[in-house]
Amino acid sequence: MKTIKTSNPKGMRDLITSKMILREYILDIMKGTFEKYGFGPISTPAMENIETLNGKYGDEGDRLIFKVLKSGNFFSEYDSEEDQLNYKKIATKISDKALRYDLTVPLARFVSQHRNEIIFPFKRYQIQNVWRADRPQKGRFREFMQCDVDIIGSKSLFPEIELIQLVDEIFNKLSIQNVKIYINHRKVLMSMIDHMGVSDKFNDIVILIDKIDKLGIRTVEKEMRRVGVSDAGMKIFNKFRNADSISKISNIFTESDIGFEGINELIFIQKVIKEIGLQSSELVFDISLARGIDYYTGSIFEVKQNDISIGSIAGGGRYDDLTSLFGFNDVSGVGISFGIDRIFYLMDDFKLFPDDIGSSTDVLFLNLGLEESVHVLKMIKKMRNLGIASELYPNMDKVKKQMSYADRKGIKFVAIVGEDEIKCNKISLKNMNTGEQYMHSFNDFLKDLQK
Amino acid sequence: MKTIKTSNPKGMRDLITSKMILREYILDIMKGTFEKYGFGPISTPAMENIETLNGKYGDEGDRLIFKVLKSGNFFSEYDSEEDQLNYKKIATKISDKALRYDLTVPLARFVSQHRNEIIFPFKRYQIQNVWRADRPQKGRFREFMQCDVDIIGSKSLFPEIELIQLVDEIFNKLSIQNVKIYINHRKVLMSMIDHMGVSDKFNDIVILIDKIDKLGIRTVEKEMRRVGVSDAGMKIFNKFRNADSISKISNIFTESDIGFEGINELIFIQKVIKEIGLQSSELVFDISLARGIDYYTGSIFEVKQNDISIGSIAGGGRYDDLTSLFGFNDVSGVGISFGIDRIFYLMDDFKLFPDDIGSSTDVLFLNLGLEESVHVLKMIKKMRNLGIASELYPNMDKVKKQMSYADRKGIKFVAIVGEDEIKCNKISLKNMNTGEQYMHSFNDFLKDLQK
C-alpha cells in the first residue's frame, strides 16, 4: 500500500485537544455574553455562489478567494480558442462556487434573502471559519475563525453603545487588561479630508491614515503630498491629529459640515458610556483610526491591547448600505468582529487561561483486570449520573503506563478498585496533584459528591 | 449598482437563529456527554491535500469530492495535447486541495501526523461540516454536519461498551425513545459468507446484505444467486438470518472459524451491557447489519429509532488498520458517528425540544425616549451582571412594534420604565405569557433575582 505523506494544506492547521479546549473556553465566554445581550446565532454555508463574492473585496481580494471546481465535467464550457489560456477567464467557466472570504458579505446576502423571516432590529452573532489564499506567516493562516456580532435595522446609536459594552465585558471576562477601544467616525474623516482640499481622493487618504501605525507619520505625510495634499491641507491635517479630544475637533466644524453630524454622534456615545461606566476597558477617540474597508459610513472601532504588538483584537463600524448589493435598500447596520486567533495568542502569551480547563476528566479508573473492570463500570455509571466526568482505562496495561495517561491528560484523581476494594465496596483515590491516597466507602464517596 | 440574486449554492443552506438554537441544544448535550466520558475535541481544516482524500471512498466518492482550484495561475500545467480535454486528468493538474468528505480519513491523517503529541488511547470527538457533491434531496445536503467519537489505540472491548453507553445516554438525554442499537461483527459476516461458499465475493455480498432494508429480501436473494451463491449457500444464509440471538449463531461456528472470535466478542459485549444496564435504549444483535464501508474489521453498529422511517441516526464500528494508509501501523480504533441532521428532524417531528430554548433574552426594555433609555441602560447593566439576559429595544418605534419584537423573539418579560418609574426607581414588568403586569421596586427586583 502506498503511504501518503501526512500534512495539512499550506497555511491550514489541525487543533489538538489541548488547544481546542482553550479555544472553546474563549468561544463559550463570547457566546454566553452575546446571548446575554440578546444576540442569536446563525450559520451560513462555507461556499457561496461565486457572483456573491466576486468584486466585493477589491482586486486583491478576488485573487485571494478559493474557488471550487464545478462537479462533473467542469471543462465542458472551456473553449481553447476563445479562452486562450487566460486563467482568470477560464476560472469563471470551470468554477461556480467559492469559499467565503469573510462573514460580512454572507451576512448581507443572508439578511436580504431571509428578510421575511428575520425579526428586525436583527441581532445576530456568527462564529465560523473563513478562507483566504494569503501568503501564510506567523499568526496568519489561510483558514481562520471569525466571530462577528451585528445589529441590523436600527439607525439609533444604542447599538454602538451596546457593542462597546459587549467588547468591554468580554475582554474583562477573559482577564485581558489594558484594553483600549478606539473610536472615530467616517463622517468626521470625510469632513477633515474635505477641509484638507482633497475630498476627491477620500479613499487614498483613508488608506494612508490607516497605515500611520505601520509606515510612520513621516512616510504617510510624504505620500499624502504625492496624492495632492497642499501645505495648507497638511496644516489642517496636523491640527486634527493634534486635537486629542472630541470637543477640540468639534470646534473646527461648523453646522453645515458633514462632520458635524459625526462629531455629535461621537459626543453622545462618549457621554452615555461615561454615564454607564465600563468594567475595565477605556473608550478613546482617535482621529487617525480610519479602517480601510470602504463599506463603513458612520462610527468605526478598533480594539487594542497595547502591551503586546499584535495589532487589533477586534474592530468594526457602521455601514448604511451593505444589503443594497442584494436589492434590500435602506438597512443600516453596525457590527464588530473579534479576532479569535489573536485573542488566543495574547491569552496564551500572558498566561490568562484558568488552570482548571486542562482536562475534561475528573477521575480515571485503572484497569486491573476483566472482572475488576466490569465492577468499576457500574461505579462509573453512578458517578457519571452525578455529572462526574470519569472513565475506565481501556487496556490492561502496566499500572505505570496507566498512571502516565492520567498524568499527561491532566486528570485530577486516579481510582484504584482491586479485589480488596470490591469485597467491601470501597474505592481508593489518589490525588494526582498532592500524591495523597485514601480509601473511601464508595457510598459515602457518592454522598460527598452529591453535596 | 447591479443587484445580485440571493441564493445558496445548490444543496447548501443557511440556519436562521431559531434553528441554530435548536441545533446548539443537541450539540451541547452531545459535547457535555462526550466530555463526561473523557473524550476531548479536535478540529481539522476544511481542506485536505487532494492525495489525502483521493481513492479513499471508491470511484463514486472520488466523483463527489469538491475540488478547490489552485491559487494563482492554476492553468500553467495544463497541456492541451497531453490532456486532450480529459477533465479528470485536468483536475489533477489545476487542483491540489479538496474539501473533506467525512471526518474519518482526516482523523486517520491527524492521528498519524500527531502521533507524538497524542495521548493514547486517544479519545477524541469532532463536530465539523463535510461536503459531498451528491444529488440533493429531502434531508440530504451537500454541506452537512458530522459528529464523530472515536477511541484509538485499544484492542480491548471496553471502548465498544463505552460507546454503547454513550449512545444510550445521549438519546436518553435528548428524550428520544424506542432507540435500538443494532450490533453485528465483521468476522461473523466473513465466517457466514465463507460457510456460504462465496468468500471471494465478500464485498459484493456485504453490500447486498446492507441493502435488504431498501430492496427487500427477495430481490437481495435473487442478486445473491446472480453473484454465485448456491442452493446450499442460500440455505446457510437463511439459517443465519433466522437465528434471532447471538447464542443460536454461536452453535453454528466451530473454534477454528474466524467467526468464533467475533461471536465471542459479541457475547462479551452483550453480557457486560446487560450487567451494567442501559437507560432507555436496547442493544439488539442483527446478522443483517453489514455496513458497506470496507474499513471495518470488528464490531459494527447502527442506531435506529423505529417509529420514523428516517434511516439510522448513528453508526460506526471497529477498524484495525485505518492509519496504516498514512504509515502508522497496528493501531486499532472504534468509533461512532451521529447524524445531526436526522436527529434534528426526528426531534422536530416528535416535538422533543424543550419549550424554554426559544429565545436567549429574558427581559426586553422598551425604548420610550433618549433620557429613559440612558436610565434603563444602567438597570440593564446591573441585571446583566447578575446573568440576566436583557436588552434595550434600540429604536424609538411605536410601542406596538416593540411589543411585537418581544413576542416574535419569544422574550419572557417586557420592562417598561417611563418617567414615573424613573422618579421612584421602579420597574414595570409585563409577563408575555400571562399578560400580567406589575410594578416593582428595582432594588427588590434585583434582590429577588439574586436568590
Q: What is the pLDDT of residues A329-386, one digit of tens each?
A: 999 999 999 999 999 999 999 999 998 786 678 999 999 999 999 999 999 999 999 9
Q: Check CB contact under 8 Å for A38 and B117.
A: no
Among B69, B165, B403, the strongest candidate for a mutation testing the A interface, having the largest count of A CBs within 10 A, is: B69
Closest residue in A to B92 (Cα) is A69
- State the smallest CA–CA distance between residue B202 and chain A in angstroms: 20
Q: What is the percent of chain A with per-residue pLDDT over 70, rounded to a whole number?
A: 98
**Calpha distance B106→A176 (Å, rounded):** 35
Is the omega angle on the peptide bond into residue B136 within 30 degrees of 0, that is, cis? no
CA-to-CA separations, A422 to A365, A408, B78, B272, in angstroms, rounded: 13, 28, 71, 17
My answer on whether omega of the bond before A121 falls inside 30° of 0, hence cis, is yes
For residue B2, the model assigns a pLDDT of 62
* pLDDT interval class at B31 (50, 70, 90): very high
Closest approach of B10 to chain A, Cα-based (Å)? 9
To the nearest whole Å, the CA of B55 is away from the closest chain A CA by 11
Q: Provide, as residue numbers in chain B, all residues whose Cβ is less than 8 Å from the Cβ of A69.
A: 66-69, 91, 94-95
The reply to whether ipTM tops 0.90 is yes
Decide: residue B117, CB within 10 A, 0-12 exposed, 13-18 middle, 19+ buried: exposed
Q: Residue A43 pLDDT more than 60?
A: yes
Strand residue runs (E) in A4-104: 40-41, 47-49, 67-69, 95-99
The mean-pLDDT minimum among A109-113, B64-68, B201-205, B249-253 falls in B249-253
Phi-psi domain of A369 (left: phi exceeds 0; alpha: psi -120 through 50; beta: other): left
CB contact under 8 A, B6 and A327: yes
Listed in sequence order, the DSSP H helices in A130-185 are: 158-173
CB contact under 8 A, B121 and A361: no
Partner-chain contact A156 B394, CB within 8 Å: yes
Q: SS3 for A307?
A: coil
Domains and their CATH numbers in chain A? 15-349 (3.30.930.10), 359-449 (3.40.50.800)
Phi, psi of B382 (to 5 degrees): -65, -40
Residue type, B350: F
**pLDDT value of residue A2:** 62
Residue B410 Cα, gap to closest chain A Cα (Å): 11
User: What confidence score (pLDDT) does residue A57 get?
Assistant: 86
Asked if B364's CB is within 8 angstroms of A36's CB, the reply is no
Q: What band does A414 get if pLDDT is binned at 50, 70 and 90?
A: very high
Q: What is the pLDDT of residue B358?
A: 67
A-B Cβ pairs (cutoff 8 Å, strict): 306
Pick from A79-88, A322-331, B245-254, B265-274 the range whose average pLDDT is largest. B265-274
Please, what is the average pLDDT of chain B? 92
DSSP letters spanning B349-400: HTT-S-GGGS-S-SEEEP---HHHHHHHHHHHHHHHHTT--EEE--S---HH
Contact A38 B78 (CB under 8 A): no
Q: Is the pTM of this model over 0.90?
A: yes
Residues A37-50, mean pLDDT to the nearest whole number: 97
- State whether B9 and A47 contact (CB < 8 Å): yes
pLDDT at A159 over 90: yes
DSSP conformational letter for A62 = H
Residues in A closer than 8 angstroms to B69, CB to CB, are: 66-69, 91, 94-95
Asked if the model's pLDDT at residue B275 lies above 60, the reply is yes
Q: Which residue of B has its CA nearest to A155?
A: B395
CB of A376 within 8 A of CB of A417? yes
Q: Is the pLDDT of residue A88 over 90?
A: no
Selected residue of A1, A2, A8, A405 to mutate for chain B interface (largest B Cβ count, 10 A) = A8
* B343-368 confidence digits (pLDDT tens): 999 999 999 999 878 667 899 999 99
Q: Which amino acid, one-letter code, is at A31?
A: K
Nine-digit cell string for B262: 467475533
Encode pLDDT of B318-334 as tens digits. Answer: 999 889 989 899 999 99
